[in-house]
Structure 1
Amino acid sequence: MSVIELSLVSLWFVNMAEISSILKVKIPLLEFLQEEDDYFYFFARHQTDRYWSLRKREWTPKITSYMETVFTEFGLPQNIDDFRVHYRVSRNLFEIILREIYGSLLLNGYGPYNAIEPPQQLLVCLWYLSNMSSMRELAHIFNLSKSTVHAVVMRVLDALQELKPRVICWPNAERQKEISREVENICGLRGVVGFLDGTHIRLSSALNGERDFYNRKGFPSIQVQAVIDHQMKFTNIYAGWPGCVHDARVLRNSTLYTEAEAGNLVLVDHYILADSAYPLRNWLITPFKNLGNLTPQQVRFNKRLSSARQAVERAFGHLKGRFRRLQDIPLHSSTEICQMILAACILHNMCIFNDDEVEDYIMEEQLQDPNDCQCDNIYQNGHNGIVRRLQLVNSLN
């Protein structure tokens, strides 16, 4: 062999253990050097190809100027509607959200990399919540890595959750009376302070493969229990139970139930409306179960309750219609999933506060008859609840 060939041999075979694992046979160096030159060149070329195929690339083709070009163009008056199409919020609401969480998104850059500015972080998160795009697609659009996209999304979700005490809060006594008056004007039922219901957030796969996450409709999901007011604003959110769990059991394990039973939430002579999956309580009123033996007054009561409770179905329709990621969440951590749901509910309320075209995003397929419940209450109705419902029926005009 020539000197050049011997030098190449020394370069390739510094680590003999690695060679042995690649060839799957242990060939002593001296025996290998006695092989034909053609074999040496074939092996050297094979190793070169393998090196380049496994070597992490320092650069991959991506969009490198989205913030400087496309996002800047969205600020022009003629492109305002295009911004809302992509991010599902108006440019004005985007600026409001950004001001609220700007301080929580400030970062310091590390090494040669510049810190991602808060506007770009919020855009990444809004795009992920509002569309069915994967994190790989977002990485391509915003010139980031997939791991960075995930980190940015979770950071923004954390920042949004800091707004919860101000954005999703239980109405005080004065607000409950105001809600009661508004609902009475709508449906004639006096004393209503909210509407309770649950919805399923579809998962791409059951967490840890557990069957408990499969609901009665056959797909994996996480339960979300919500109370809303007559304006479709969420006043209480409780999420995290697997899809197979009954709505009434979710309620019984919530802080809402504990506090309401203790008399700390709902004013005297006021109540929340729910469907027949929930138990009757003095603070929770449900419709009569229709077995064909209802009186005309009971039928009229059920219709009014159903009409009033359309608000909660519309709220869920807006939540899933505007933030379409909630139609199928591919995450594998229950904590992250619940953070995403809560953040979407916070954004939902902010859309309503700022009158941000709510009607345009309500999913029609989400709307259904609130009394068309496919599961019956599994707990005994409370005596005070039964008496309260009869009083309401008798008070109808």
Structure 2
Amino acid sequence: MPYNRSSVEQQNFTNNADNRKRIVQLVAVEGTQPCEEDAPNVVELIKVHEERKELVKLMLDIVPMKTTAKKRRLSDGLDEFVDIVVPDYTDDEFLQHFRIKRKQFHNLVALFEESETYRMLREDKRMSAAKHLLMFLWFAGNASCDFRDLSQRFKASISSVSRAIKRVTYFLADLSEFVIKWHTKEEMTRAADYFQSMNGFPSVIGAVAAIHIPVEVTKQDKVTYSNGNGQTSIILQAICNERRKFVDISVGSPGPTHKSRVFTESEIYAKLPELCQNFILLADAAYPLGNNVLTPYRHNGYLTPAQILYNRKLNECRTFIDYALTTLKQRFRQLDHVKLRGLEKVSQFVRACCVLNNLCKEDDFSINLLDSSEVTSGETVDQQSCEDAVPDSSTGSIFRERMCDYIYTT
């Protein structure tokens, strides 16, 4: 049955510019092509097309509702994950998804809110500090996550995601000078006592090791950063203490660089006599032997019982650095292959992950030590570049002999 309006309704309907324009468009779609100046006569057009009036009324009622519903869904989506889903997570679920405890997360949010990086953003445009951190942690904790995944989950544009990840990356990397610090005198004494009581190896305050971090590089840099295992990578070198916390890191050397070369070219190497004093670090056989760095004897088939015992005790102490690096890569799975562009940004991202790892307690996160793919130790990763290795020092060899005799006779 045709829809009949009163004269007042008809006049109000005709005077409504938005409705007139919408009807002109609808009628045009149906096959009639009225021009703009015909708009005031749209009522006459409807009378001519009686069979279309119900369609016009229906569309006028529904279209605005659809638009409103779409906007409402998008608005709800912005808050749904961050404000509804995440708060419902238990503490264990939060740790599983975001790799740090909820209390640590809130502390970081408070720090980020006070940072210059966040405060310089426009208040009416910026996303919340919590959303920044959640986005970064989700990205860092998932190996397969990329910016498109983050865009869909957090309902933000890919460009906004990229900027948020960069802000948090540099914010956390800047905390490294406060979080990744060398031992104090008391801490060195405590570490030496711990290792001595563990297996009798004296004066040890930590261990040094390095791992490959696979990265994306340009075609021009592919040869420079190809590590010989079919990957392009940068090297993370780390020194850890008895609590498996990093006390120094060096990030960014090209993948083919021998670990001994990375070590001797790092900022920490020249400072070791001053920093270590009478204490020592342990390393694998790929590192150069020195007065402050002890390495195992190479297995040449002619090791003495004293040398075998020395190697065994050294390797027992060295498990701490392997455990620390394994925890790092299992906690932040993005380090399996970082999906960021730009080597400087990638290096800062790795540093940021090391900062987060230090902020977490060692028992926060259980790892699978049987997963040997996480950390490649010994000479295996550097086999392709042994000619680049730094030779042992003669004084280091003498010091190792004395240490070997001391361990065997005590």
TM-score by length of 1: 0.77
CA-to-partner distance for each residue in 1:69-102, whole Å, 9 max, x for gaps? Answer: 66434334x7332222221222122112223332
C-alpha distance in 1, partners of 2:364/2:231? 31
Q: Secondary structure at the match of 1:255?
A: coil
Contact 1:107 1:115 in 2 (8 A): no
Matched letter for residue 380 of structure 1: P
CA distance change for structure 1 residues 183 and 197 in 2, over 3 Å: closer, same or farther? same
SS of residue matched to 2:153: helix
1:64 CA drift (Å): 4.1
- Counterpart of 2:92 (choices 61, 81, 89) is 81
In the TM superposition, residue 227 of structure 1 has moved relative to its aligned partner by 0.4
The CA deviation string for residues 154-197 of structure 1, in whole angstroms up to 9 with x for no partner, is 10111112321221001122211111111111121101111011
Task: Report % sequence identity.
Answer: 26
Report SS of the residue matched to 1:144.
Answer: coil
Superimposed CA distance per residue, residues 310-359 of structure 1 (whole angstroms, 9 cap, x where no aligned partner): 1111111111101011100122211100010000000000012xx55232
Aligned residue for 2:302, secondary structure, equals coil
Query: Is 2:126 the counterpart of 1:138?
Result: no
Q: How does 1:142-153 map to 2 (within 5 A)?
A: 142-153=154-165
CA contact (8 A) 1:207 1:332 kept: no
Question: What are the residue-to-residue correspondences of 1:89-104 with 2, within 5 Å?
Answer: 89-104=100-115
Of 197, 202, 207, the residue aligned with 2:214 is 202
Distance in 2 of aligned mates of 1:336 and 1:356: 29
Measured at CA, do residues 384 and 253 of structure 1 come closer, stay the same or move farther in structure 2, by a change above 3 Å?
same
What residue in structure 1 maps to residue 398 of structure 2? 387
Residue aligning to 2:359: 350
Corresponding position of 1:359: 366
Contact (CA 8 Å) 2:98, 2:138: kept in 1 or not?
yes
Structure-2 residue corresponding to 1:333: 342
CA distance in 2, matches of 1:240, 1:207: 18
Measure the CA separation in 2 of the matches of 1:253 and 1:323. 27
Aligned residue for 1:358, secondary structure, equals: coil
Question: Residues 182 and 230 of structure 1 are in contact (CA less than 8 Å); yes or no, is this contact kept in structure 2?
Answer: yes
State the Cα deviation string for residues 99-143 of structure 1 (Å, max 9, x = none): 333212335437xx6321111111111111111211011111111
Structure 2: any 5+ residue segments left out of the alignment?
A: 1-31, 36-69
Match of 1:44?
A: none
Aligned to 2:285: 276
Equivalent in the alignment of 2:122: 109
SS at 1:197 equivalent: strand
Q: Name the CA distance, whole Å, in 1 between partners of 2:331 and 2:99.
A: 6
Structure 2 counterpart of 1:336, one-letter code: K
1: distance between equivalents of 2:368 and 2:101?
Answer: 13
Correspondence 1:289 to 2:298: yes
* Match among 316, 329, 347 for residue 325 of structure 2: 316
Q: Residue 159 in 1 paired to residue 186 in 2?
A: no
**Change in 2 beyond 3 A, CA 1:360/1:98:** farther
Structure holding more helix per residue: 2
Instruction: Tell me if structure 2 keeps the 8 A contact 1:67–1:120.
Output: no
SS at match of 1:75: helix
| C-alpha distance in 1 between matches for 2:191 and 2:269 | 20
Structure 2 SS opposite 1:210: helix
1:363–1:208: structure 2 CA closer, same or farther, 3 Å change rule? farther
Partners of 2:325 and 2:375 within 8 A in 1: no
Q: 1-side partners of 2:376 and 2:312: how far apart?
A: 10
**Residue matched to 1:265:** 275
Unaligned runs of 5+ in 1: 8-57
Query: Given that residues 201 and 224 in structure 1 are in contact (C-alpha distance below 8 angstroms), is that contact kept between their aligned partners in structure 2?
Result: yes
Which residue matches 1:49? none
Of residues 307-316 and 342-351 in structure 1, the stretch that sits farther from structure 2 once superposed is 307-316
Paired residue secondary structure (1:83)? helix
Question: Matched residues in 1 for 2:111 and 2:368: separation?
Answer: 24
Q: Equivalents in 2 of 1:62, 1:208: separation in Å?
A: 42
State the SS of the aligned residue for 2:238: strand
The answer to whether the Cα contact below 8 Å between 1:207 and 1:334 also exists between their aligned partners in 2 is: no
Number of residue-to-residue matches in the alignment: 336
Q: Which residue matches 2:229?
A: 217
TM, length-normalised to structure 2: 0.75
- Looking at structure 2, the residues matched to 288 and 114 of structure 1 have their Cα atoms a distance apart, in angstroms, of 60
Pick from 186, 189, 193 the counterpart of residue 177 of structure 1: 189
1:246-268 deviation line (CA, Å, top 9, x unaligned): 111111211111112xx221122
Q: SS state of the match for residue 79, structure 2?
A: coil
- Residue identity opposite 1:220 in structure 2: T
What is the CA distance between 1:234 and its match in structure 2? 0.4
Question: Which residues in structure 2 correspond to 1:43-58 (within 5 Å)?
Answer: none
Structure 2 counterpart of 1:386, which letter? S
User: 2:264 is aligned with what amino acid?
Assistant: R
